[in-house]
Chain A
Amino acid sequence: MVDVIICGVGGQGVLLLAEVLGTAAMREGLDVRVSEIHGMAQRGGPVVCHLRAREGTVYAPTVMDGTADVLLALEPAEAVRALRFVGPKTLALVSERTIRPVMVSLGLAEYPDMEEVKAALTSTARKAYFIDALKLAEEAGSPLAQNMVMAGALVATGVFPAGREAVLEAMKELVPTRYLEVNLRAFELGEKALRALLEQGESSG
């Protein structure tokens, strides 16, 4: 069983990422719930998605505070905003590239220091990995494929109960055909990047 919090900013493809992962888990025979919040998602606000999968029945649609197995964050400030779900068993995978809110451009708020962000996550989670997912997505062919870079990273950790093939199948089912190739490439780059981090034993902590 696994409880995943997927978060980011509206427009980053958080919902598609959750649907792909959820579908993969369902096709592996698990019960699944993916809880989304719509409406504001296209308007650049924070988006948090809860993904729960297990053998037997998943009851609650949301992850209990402090008990996420994985925090999959497409943006660093959004990762700390979701700190409520992070606890001693959480593996945090965070895309490093920041998206600055308008409040910051207007000088009405400050964007946190990256070192502080990393410290907050590494001190709360079991382990935290930071990935330049935007760079990898661009390398794959589109900055919008960051979400699938993170899917690849998640699968590479081995924590997710659906295997690589199941996730790739779900991508083929759900990603529009014209973006599929870029997305598959992004997935592989994410996988590779995380494997490299695991091998080096490198984490920010």
Chain B
Amino acid sequence: MPRPEVILRGKPGEKYLLLGNEAVARGIIEAGVGVMTTYPGTPSSEIADTVSAVAMEAGIYMEYSTNEKVALEVAAGAAVSEVRSAVCMKHVGLNVASDPFMTLAYVGVRAGMVIITADDPNCWSSQNEQDNRYYAMLSGLPCLEPSTPQEAKDMFLKAMELSERLEVPCILRLVTRVSHTRGPVLFGPREEPPAKGRFKRDVARFVMVPAYARVRHKVLLEKMRAAREIAESDRSLNYVARGGARLGIITSGVSFNYVMEALDILGLDVGVLKLGMVYPFPRKLVAEFASQYDDILAVEELEPYLELNVKAALQEAGLKVPVHGKMGAELLPRYGELSTRLVVEALCRLTGRKAPLDFSSIDEKAKKGLEMAPPRPPILCPGCPHRASMYVIRRVVGHKLVCTTDIGCYALGIHPPLEIGDFLICMGASVGGACGISRALGERVIAILGDSTFFHASIPALIDAVYNKHPITVVVLDNLTTAMTGGQPHPGTGVMGTGEPGVRVLIEEVARGCGVQHVYVVDPYNVKEAVKAFKEAVSVEGPSVVVFRQACRLMAVREARRKGIELPKYQVDQEACTGCGVCVKAFGCPAFLVGPDGKVSIDKELCTGCGVCVQVCPYNAIRQVGGGE
């Protein structure tokens, strides 16, 4: 049975090896969530994708919202209407959703609502490694932090319960090594989602005009006090995992695992306080724990969130126990992921012990290995339409114009030979950034972004370009899916999260509706036509939009395989190939193999038959050798 179906139909008492994200999806199903929303983003994506795959059967309304702000608002709408809801996103998604997030804390909810944020220490697939525990402090909303896939499910259910008890949304903070770690997960019973909610009007509670907002802020502070009591007393969340002498460790989430492992390796007699509820901070519990030790070490990834709060708690209790961590002696790094080794090393430094392994000789060997292994940056797939689009851009404007880029597969275009992308900070910023750069330089700037990204956050900036006459050319690489995160639908696909047909929103119509006068739609696989349109688009006055439309090749190949259609294959005629290398240097498909004589051939396993190389070769040396299309 495919995994999502196992997650839906698995019976109480059964155990499966699930990703943390899949475990949360099971939690959503067990909790009887009626409305689930998201905007996809690694490392959170599998939560919503799993729910999406079984939504109809489970009776859950699931949607891929236009962006995280909308996703949070939709989930909030359900929860104030007495339907349990969940919204999930990657860490930076909460920045997009931060506006409704902050004030939703004031109005609260009537049915449980869980906001799931998946943080990405080490930037495995993200543009930053912000620590969203601070969002809990900023908003006043309770925050739970699981250590394992099993806890991810259990704490989702707990977060739902707390949310209902306190009538505020609750945050579940995951990190990559919880979201993307598999562990045994024991299934519990399922609650059925309600057929329908109801909305009871209460203007003073749900309409945040200043007079009511002032009152609701005080209500939130009262709820925070009640939540703190839970953090102090609920031993299923915050508990002493082991006792010890002299040194006490305070830790949470994934870091707890490294602590326990490191203590085993070193055979140290050290106390451990595990915090599952990191906000509100259990100040009394922490002070009581700390009072039994000579020294305290806070072990956590990224920011010294626990460390700061531990120091505040001890100050409040009048305790003078030294607290170690990232500040001061910097025993642990403030960036990247933790590991057993980093915790072992920190403990050795603090206790004056010798390291159990010669880490420096391991580093030396590792360094040699890394030098030996050739760089293998993730690349655009063979046949990727983005490669063809970027080839067209390069053909027309060379390296003369600044090209801003955006969040998606096409960011991989920065690598040779295309080397496209000069500015990238967040979703949609390609367009706003291009406006400013073009103003500063007094020349045209190209903004490159994907279809899903276009809908997500670029439209206000596009209107800005029209309104303020910024000379930019917006290139929308429309591959008809949200590719980088695994192929989720978006408004431009017209497919809903439940799998039902929705209404398709066309990018070119949105652009025209925003007032863009020059809008082009081209197929990047047709190089000649695409070059012609793009040339025109960069020579007009004011802003222009070019939609390069061609399906993600991974999706197209999968579709062809399912339908039993044989895709064409291409091969280089070795007689005709002069070894000029243009195809490799200007286009750079991973299916090209360069022989010792400089002549090129095509790896038949890798070729997906896009046929663009035929149009790139100046000597007409590339021929179709099989398949249809």
Contact = CB atoms under 8 A, between A and B. Distances in A.
Interface of A: 9-10, 18-19, 22-23, 26, 31-40, 42-46, 57-62, 64-67, 77-78, 80-84, 86-87, 100-112, 116-117, 120, 124, 143
Q: Which of B43, B341, B374, B594 has the most CB of A within 10 A?
A: B374
A39 B258 CA distance: 24
A61 B151 CA distance: 14
B372 A22 contact: no
A120 B371 CA distance: 12
B181 A36 contact: yes
A120 B368 contact: yes
A59 B261 contact: yes
20 contacts: A10-B378, A22-B182, A23-B17, A32-B17, A34-B17, A34-B182, A37-B124, A37-B180, A38-B125, A39-B42, A40-B124, A45-B376, A45-B379, A59-B260, A60-B340, A62-B177, A64-B261, A64-B341, A83-B365, A109-B375
Contact of A43 (B261, B357, B363, B380): B380
B329 interface: no
Interface in B17-39: 17, 19
A67 B341 CA distance: 11
Chain B interface size, under 10 / 10 to 19 / 20 to 34 / 35 or more: 35 or more
Given A36-B181, A39-B42, A66 B378 contact: no
Contacts, number: 181
Interface in B242-256: 254, 256
Given A37-B124, A59-B264, A105-B594, 11 more contacts: A34-B182, A40-B378, A42-B381, A64-B265, A66-B359, A66-B362, A81-B370, A84-B366, A120-B368, A120-B372, A124-B365
B17 A102 contact: no
Interface string B399-422: 000000000010010011100000
B328 to A, nearest CB: 26
B373 A39 contact: no
A84 B593 CA distance: 30
Q: Which of B181, B368, B370, B590 has the most CB of A within 10 A?
A: B181
B159 to A, nearest CB: 22
A62 B344 CA distance: 14
Contacts of A39: 42-43, 124-125, 484-485
A32 B362 CA distance: 26
A34 B178 CA distance: 10
B376 A112 contact: no
Contact of A33 (B183, B260, B366, B592): B183
A13 B595 CA distance: 28
Contact of B374 (A42, A62, A109): A109
A35 B372 contact: no
B25 to A, nearest CB: 15
B294 to A, nearest CB: 25
B372 A108 contact: no
A43 B381 contact: yes
A108 B419 CA distance: 14
Contacts of A109: 374-375
B377 interface: yes
Contacts of B415: 102
Contact of B177 (A31, A61, A120): A61
Contacts of B416: 103, 106, 108
B377 A45 contact: yes
Contacts of B81: none
A96 to B, nearest CB: 15
Interface string B338-358: 011100100000000000010
Contacts of A105: 584, 588, 590, 592-594
Contacts of A45: 376-379
B605 interface: yes
A37 B179 CA distance: 10
B340 A84 contact: no
Nearest to A111: B374
Contacts of B584: 105-106
Contacts of A32: 17, 182-184
Q: Which of A40, A43, A116 has the most CB of B within 10 A?
A: A43
Contacts of B254: 61
A86 to B, nearest CB: 8
B176 interface: yes
B602 to A, nearest CB: 11
B373 A42 contact: no
Contact of A26 (B181, B184, B261, B585): B184
A100 B594 CA distance: 11
A54 B116 CA distance: 30
Given A36-B181, A62-B339, A83-B369, A44 B378 contact: yes
Contact of A40 (B125, B357, B417): B125
B15 interface: yes
A84 B254 CA distance: 22
A67 B362 CA distance: 10
